[in-house]
Homo-oligomer: A and B are copies of this chain.
Amino acid sequence: MTDVCATALTPLSFLERSSRVWADKVAVVDGTRRLTYADLGRQTQLMARALIASGIDSGDRVAVLLPNVTEMLTAHFGVPLARAVLVAINTRLAVDEIRYILEHSGAKMLFVHPDLLGVAAAALRTLSGIECVVTSGADASTASTHLSWSEFIGRAGESWDLPWTVEDENSAIALNYTSGTTGRPKGVLYTHRGAYLTALGVLVHCRHSTDSVFLWTLPMFHCNGWCTAWAVTAIGGRHICLEEVRPDKIWNLLRDEGVTHFNGAPTVITGVINAPEASPVTTPVIVATGGAPPSPTTMSKAEGLGIELIHMYGLTETYGPYAICEIQDTWPTADTVERFQLKARQGVGMIQADALRVVGEDMSDVAADGVTVGEIVMRGNNVMAGYFRDVAGTEEAFRGGWFHSGDLGVMHPDGYVELRDRAKDVVISGGENISTIEVEHALVSHPSVVEVAVVGVPDAKWGERPKAFVVTHSGVAVTEAELIEHVRQRIARFKAPREIEFVAELPKTATGKIQKFVLKEREWANQTARIGG
């Protein structure tokens, strides 16, 4: 009876249901466009059929380079409906990085927003066999080498709807690239089952209801919007698209569209609550945040405006959110330091996730004393199926049967995990992961540079920003601006350090390994708390 009593779990079932149950309800607000769930369902079917007509086969990868527009949401269902795997690329990446992802993923098609056509065209230049579709509400395709959205959709033809089901719930639905701690991004495979369960967990923890109005401040290319693209569709909530994260626009939409929920890194929230337009909201707004814990000031100010922060934690490898800092009744309710310290912790596994562990080198749990540092490891339905085309990387990440986050943390006596340090090579700036090794590689490629170490330093606006410590060849005259520009030519601009300190030598271990923590300690010495601590 297994086939009858165990339908394969897939987020496709969410849109199937909503396009039927909430057919006439507004599903998407995208500028002046409004689509009902019936419209979204139809558009998804068209996209999937057009993909198949374009030669997309089961398991093929389809890449998108899109901001949070209707087509991006549609792709979250249309690509898997065509039995293909969605590769949502960070729109802020440089040409080389985009090219690497297109090549590594083996994407057969790329959907690109008109604003990103330049970078896409440059990335595609040396690649062959990737068909490019320019999405545009107004159908403003100009480049003759690219297909317009309507030309693409025209391929769907007249046909029956495709079934909103999958054969194997453990098959891949998405391939999301990390920003890479070792220079090169890794392709993280999400399964239909994992995406389905994480979406349900998001619904429960973020207290979504059929009245949810979700504002897309978080890029959908970040872990598929922490699986919220699927979750909000499941509950029949309303998606409010947002191409550009600007506090004034956000405040307009909060008020005009009656937004109930949004997600964002603390920097986004800081921008929102400090905007001149900020004033208390009439209906409470729930905001899931992650990447770095919100500061006490942010928490306090947000609460004063009627914005409730839900602090979550996870990685690309864990479908975005894996843990939540559940609030206990016994915690102080006043704006005390203790309350903020408790709430700034990464917390406990979500309802659909396994428990987090903090382990030592031998995989045994560290003492739950809030002091002993170990590595945070995770497993279960909310951990990736593995790295795409990287058996060695996957085995390394899952050594001992647990996914190794690379994040260092402590376990508190109450079972809450707290980050003590990030994966040692990553700086999180404005919600974006920056691999310091990658920045170092860019710097070291300059002829004047001998040696370099990049660390995250505190930044009032971005949480952290990368700072580089550089040793130059003796007698060479190179300026800070020159080196920063050198980096910007090579990797995404936002990854470039905004500060360079020229030093005579870098602190090193006896075996010659650079001691980044020494540099970090110095930079963070004047802060009351380390990020995550």
Contact = CB atoms under 8 A, between A and B. Distances in A.
Interface of A: 1-7, 9, 13-14, 16-17, 20-25, 170, 191, 193-194, 200, 203-204, 207-210, 234-236, 326-330, 348-349, 351-352, 354-355, 379-381, 383-386, 394, 398, 401-403, 414-415
Contact of A1 (B9, B329, B385): B385
16 contacts: A1-B385, A4-B398, A6-B170, A6-B193, A6-B194, A7-B354, A7-B379, A7-B380, A17-B348, A23-B414, A24-B330, A25-B329, A200-B352, A203-B204, A203-B351, A234-B351
Contact of A383 (B4, B16, B210, B414): B4
B5 A191 contact: yes
SS class of chain A's interface: helix, strand, loop or mixed? loop
A95 B6 CA distance: 36
Given A5-B380, A5-B383, A200-B351, 11 more contacts: A3-B401, A4-B380, A4-B383, A5-B386, A6-B193, A7-B354, A20-B415, A22-B326, A23-B414, A200-B200, A236-B326
A398 B349 contact: no
Nearest to A199: B351
A1 to B, nearest CB: 5
B379 A5 contact: yes
Contacts of A352: 200
Contacts of A385: 1, 5
B401 A4 contact: yes
A381 B7 contact: yes
Q: Ordered nearest first, which 4 A-B pairs have the shortest CB separation?
A: A7-B380, A21-B348, A1-B386, A5-B383
Given A17-B348, A204-B204, A351-B235, A326 B210 contact: yes
Query: Which of A3, A4, A7, A16 has most chain B Cβ within 10 Å?
Result: A4
A235 B7 CA distance: 25
Query: Which of A6, A22, A327, A403 has most chain B Cβ within 10 Å?
Result: A6
> What number of copies of this chain does the assembly contain?
2
A380 B6 contact: yes
Given A4-B379, A191-B5, A25 B328 contact: yes
B355 A6 contact: no
A403 B17 contact: no
Contacts of A207: 207, 209
A118 to B, nearest CB: 38
A207 B205 CA distance: 11
Contacts of A24: 328, 330
Nearest to A330: B24
A386 B9 CA distance: 20
A328 B25 CA distance: 8
Contacts of A204: 200, 203-204, 208, 235
A207 to B, nearest CB: 6
A368 B191 CA distance: 35
A193 B7 CA distance: 11
Nearest to A25: B329
A30 to B, nearest CB: 20
A20 B412 CA distance: 12
Given A394-B1, A398-B4, A348 B191 contact: no
A3 B5 CA distance: 22
Contacts of A200: 200, 204, 351-352
Given A17-B349, A20-B355, A2 B170 contact: yes
A31 B330 CA distance: 23
Nearest to A24: B330
A326 B4 contact: no
Contacts of A386: 1, 5
Query: Which of A193, A203, A351 has most chain B Cβ within 10 Å?
Result: A351
A260 to B, nearest CB: 13
